[in-house]
Each structure stands twice: as structure tokens, then as C-alpha cells.
Amino acid sequence: MAKTKKLPEIKEPLKMLLSGNEAIALGAREAGIYFGVGYPGTPSTEILETFARIPGIKAQWSPNEKVAFEVGIGAALAGSRTLVTMKHVGVNVAMDPLMTFAYTGTVGGFVFISADDPELHSSQNEQDNRILARFAKIPMLEPSDSSEAHDFMKYAIEISEKFETPLMLRITTRISHAKGIVNLEPWPVPEVTGFKRNPERFVMIPQYARKRHTEVEKRIISMREFSNNSPLNRVEPGTGNIGIVTGGVSYNYVREVMPDAPIFKVGMSNPMPIDSIREFAATVDKLLVVEELEPYYEEQILAAGIACAGKEYFPIEGELNPDIVEAGLIKAGALDGSTSSVHPVGFNVLPRPPVLCSGCPHRPVYQALKKIRADVFGDIGCYTLGALKPLNAMHACICMGASIGMADGVQQVSGSKKPVVAVIGDSTFLHSGITGLLDAVYNQAPMILVILDNRATAMTGGQQHPGTGFTLQGEVAPQVNLFEIVKALGVKRVYDVDSYDLDKTIEILTEASEIKEPTVLITSQPCVLYPEKLPPQPFDVDLDKCNACQVCLHIGCPSISHIDQTTEKGLHLVAIDPDTCTGCSLCDQVCPEDAIFEITHEHAPV
């Protein structure tokens, strides 16, 4: 495993082209943050990966977001400025410590990133986490580009320490991944004071927590005043009698479409700068609100008795873009629509829906599960792609860790005749699958759990976790043994499965489905991309034997495709792309005509 390369230290001001995620990581270092912790999840992952490459700091992955948040709390209570990173659904997992950490408050500045994913580019839902910051009564900042993502980190630490509170920095996919110029400054020496006891503040038993709740309410009032006067919220004067309140990525779209409009740009969005917005509203005839997803600004502005309109003209679902914003502004009467300021790129990007890689060790498991006609409860990871055509082999999937509980629940009430199977990846099992399995053992659910142990958090880019044996930096770490965990939870039958051996996998699944208690299969083949590819011994098709039955195409391997040559009935024969075939042999195993063979030296052209 290659160790991550450190970045050079920044000793004098420097301009760099950075993604929002990189900008946050470097901004964190500049803001004196010493400790970073998180759990991977698109679009947040590169923040901690970049932060980990900075010399003189500490960074680590946790098994899930709740743990990451709690480790972060510990670091912050020990006086370290702290960064915690996660995607939007990760905040759901971390919500329990967050809600009460808001009461104790922090010692070292504590910034956690909620990287939201409007349009569900890579997520199971598109919740708007701005609502969660308001719910937790903590401050929230919303940068609009890489430069602000960097600069807001310093403000974030200042605000967090001034009000002794955790702070949410909320970004969205386009902010995370788009690049922009950032002005970097030399790094300060990070300081850590050490933990100082203060039980009335840090031990949240009811008699202390009641007092802390009062502090939270006082804090929100003083933060409101702060927000009204903060340079993070600003008026950009313009021409015309329609004013627009916007923030985050939407600000860029509004500016592109209406470069001269008067804008109130929200940068600190909890508490909302309502008094400043009221003053701005008084300078225009009509106030429009342009924001992605929920009417978060709009509802608070309306609740303050300020007339405005927003979701009437702009969608509540999906991402905004300049086209959508322009259309909404035309509908709202802010633009006449005779000329468009949107410059279409002139071509459509080819859609590339995700597929399991050639040679993915998850693929044969689905083949086997179809064979035993199992009801399959899935989880989140590369293997969720088993739900799509042509595999169609997953029948429910909700959130990380849910597969086991769902399969357990089905069996508690229905006693299904079909085998009931949960499939979960290794990272997801360690994230939140263990307690589900504990429940299945405790309540004796007759179900099969397949742990797809590819030794990687593959879906998000192959990050390390406690089962891989390496740290975030690629240093050797203790490697947890899944087999022993499962045994320790009380599972009596645990099978090792080489998923590339299809017949054996079907045989073990068939045997396991006869057992009337929770049974676990752990697959052993590593991800084809991490840590390294299989030796390339591609397979080929003997066109004299191929009768175009299409069975191999139904395994959904991207290396197999139709060719022009047809049978007498006009059915297309198939070919295997030797450059992408990894030699996993699944197509060979399913071919009923024995028409697929491994290319050996004997077959290789001379």
C-alpha cells in the first residue's frame, strides 16, 4: 500500500487553482486546525484526503460519521481546532452527538462539513441539511465557490470559538468539485491546550443540560445579531426594482443570468440575517428568493413578515442551473425573456450510468442469489448496482447498515418460503451493520447475511477502513477480523466464499438457506481496482460455438458486447474486450455452449 504524499508547506502567500474540497482542507490548515476526522462519502471525501496530506497535522478515518463526530468532540474538548467531514446523509448518523454537543459547546473551534448532493449524483436521497443546522441551533456558513470555501474556514473557526459552538459549513456537489482560484496564506502553528474538566458544562445529565439549553437559546439571540452585521452576508447593489436573495451555488447562477440585479448574498445562513434582509427588501419593489432544494431562506423571510416569492418559480427538487434559474426569473417577471444570458455548451454529455467493473467480485454473488431465488435486501456500496438491469437481483435498499435489519424484520413477520438474504459491503458492515446482525442473532431471524469483503470502501474511491489493515495515510494498522466479529456476535455458521467460484457459491447459499437461524457468508476476493488489478488473462469467445444465447450478456459485464456477426436467425454474436477483461471467468462459468475460453499462450496470436 503506497503511503500518501505530503504537500509542501505554504510559507508565503500563493494563488492556486483548487476544487472546493481542496480549498476547505487548505483553509482548515490556515485557520489553525490541527485535527481532521471523517467518514468517506461523495461529495465530501477529498476534503479529508487532502487535509491528511498536510504536514504537521493529524487526520484519520472513523468507521462511521457518529464515531467521527464523537472523536472530533474529544479533540475539540482537548482544545484542538477540529474539522469533521461527511456527506449529507452522514449528518443523520452523527445527529445524536451533534444535538447535545450543541448544548455543551466546544473549546477548540469545531467545524463540521455537510456536503449535500442535490440531484442525487451519488446518494440515496437529496435532503437539504440547512434545516438540520437550524434544528440543532448552531451557526451555519454556505460558501459559493472555492475561494469562499477556503476563506470561510477562518470565519468558521472564529465564530465557533467566539460563541463556543460547533459550526456547520454546508457545501453542495458543485462547490466540492468545481475549481477556482484561491488565495492561500502562510500557516500558523496549531495549538492544543489539553482537556480541562468542567462537569457542569460537559456532563449532560438533566440538571446540567437544562442550564445548557438556556445558554443555547441566549447564544442563538447573540448569533442573530452577529449574522445581521457579518460581512459574510452582503448586499450587492444593482439596477432594477427586483431584489434577489440567494446563497451557496445558486448565487453563481443568478449572477450569470442577471449580472446587474441587486442581490442579497447569504453567506451565514443560520441564524438568518433577517434584519439586514428586511432593510434590503425595503429598497426594492419585489423580493425573489433563489435557492436549491428546500425553501429554507424563503420560509424564514416570510415568517418575519417580509413579502417574497421563491418556490412558486423555482423547483424544490434537484439542482438549479443557469437555464432553470433564467426560466424561473422570466416566469417571475424579473426578465423579459427576449434575450438569454445563458451560453449553452452546444453539446450534451453522453450519459454514463454506473456499472459494476469488469471482474468485480460482487457480480457472481448476484448470479448465485438469482439462482436460489432469494429475496435480497441490499445496502449502500458498489454492490447496490446489483439492483439494476441486467442483474435485477436486489429488492430493497434504504441506507447504510439497513440491509440486515430489513431481512431480519421480513423474517420476523412473514417466515418467507424463499431464502431471505442481506448483502452488505465490508466498510458498510463495520459502519453500521454489526448491531443489525446482533439483533438478528438475538431474535433468531432465519436469514443469510453475505458480507462482500473486497477490503475497500470501493464506492467512494477505495478508502481504507478498520478491515483493510491500513490508515488514511496508507500506514499499516491493526486489521479487524470480520470472521471473528461475526462469531463473537453469536453466529454459529460462518462460511468463507470465493465468489469467483460460481458453483461453490450456489452450493453454500443453498446449504445456508436450509438453516433456520442467522448464517453468514464472507466473500474473499478483493476489489479489482484496489489494491491492484487481477493479472490480465483475458477470456475470448469461440464464434464457431457461440449461438448468441445472450446468457453471458445477462451478467452485465462491461467487457462483453454484441458484434456485427449474426447467426442465421439474425441474432448477434458476442465478443470480449481483451483490454478490460480481468479474467474473473464468470462468463465462462455461465456459458451453456462452452464457447468462452481463457486466452493462453497457445491461443495468443504470434
Shortest gap between Cβ of 433 and ligand TPP (angstroms)?
9
CA 467 – CA 227 distance, rounded (Å): 44
Q: Does 128 bind ligand TPP (CB under 6 A)?
A: no
CA 379 – CA 382 distance, rounded (Å): 9
56 phi-psi bin (left φ>0, alpha ψ -120 to 50, beta other):
left
Shortest gap between Cβ of 582 and ligand TPP (angstroms)?
16
Q: Does 93 bind ligand TPP (CB under 6 A)?
A: yes
Amino acid identity at 41: G
Q: Which residues touch 189 (CB under 8 Å, ≥6 apart)?
A: none
Q: Does 459 bind ligand TPP (CB under 6 A)?
A: yes
| For ligand TPP, the closer CB: 41 or 556 | 41
Within 53-72, the residues that bind ligand TPP by CB under 6 A are: 65
**Is the alpha carbon torsion for 550, 554, 555, 560 positive or negative?**
positive
Q: Does 422 bind ligand TPP (CB under 6 A)?
A: no
* Contact between 169 and 143 (Cβ < 8 Å): yes
Binding mask 385-404 vs ligand TPP (x if CB under 6 A, - otherwise)? ---------------x----
Could you identify the residue written with the cell 433564467? Answer: 326
Q: Does 328 bind ligand TPP (CB under 6 A)?
A: no
Residue closest to 238 by CA, chosen among 255, 254, 262: 262
CA 148 – CA 506 distance, rounded (Å): 54
Which of residues 51, 202, 377, 383 is near ligand TPP by CB under 6 A?
383
Which of residues 90, 247, 271, 409 is near ligand TPP by CB under 6 A?
90
Shortest gap between Cβ of 254 and ligand TPP (angstroms)?
30
Which of residues 38, 41, 378, 419 is near ligand TPP by CB under 6 A?
41
Q: Does 499 bind ligand TPP (CB under 6 A)?
A: no
Q: Does 425 bind ligand TPP (CB under 6 A)?
A: yes
Q: Does 116 bind ligand TPP (CB under 6 A)?
A: no
Burial zone of 49 (CB within 10 Å; 0-12 exposed, 13-18 middle, 19+ buried): buried
**Region of 6-14, 82-90, 154-162, 313-321 interacting with ligand TPP (CB under 6 A):** 82-90
# chain residues binding ligand TPP, by CB under 6 A: 24
Q: What cell numbers appear for 34 in the block?
A: 490541527
Q: Which residues touch 261 (CB under 8 Å, ≥6 apart)?
A: 238, 239, 240, 242, 243, 244, 254, 334
Max CA separation in the chain (angstroms)? 84
| For ligand TPP, the closer CB: 93 or 440 | 93
**Region of 88-96, 405-413, 479-487, 532-540 interacting with ligand TPP (CB under 6 A):** 88-96
Q: Does 25 bind ligand TPP (CB under 6 A)?
A: no
Residues that bind ligand TPP (CB under 6 A): 39-41, 65, 87, 89-90, 93, 380-383, 400, 425-428, 452, 454, 456-460
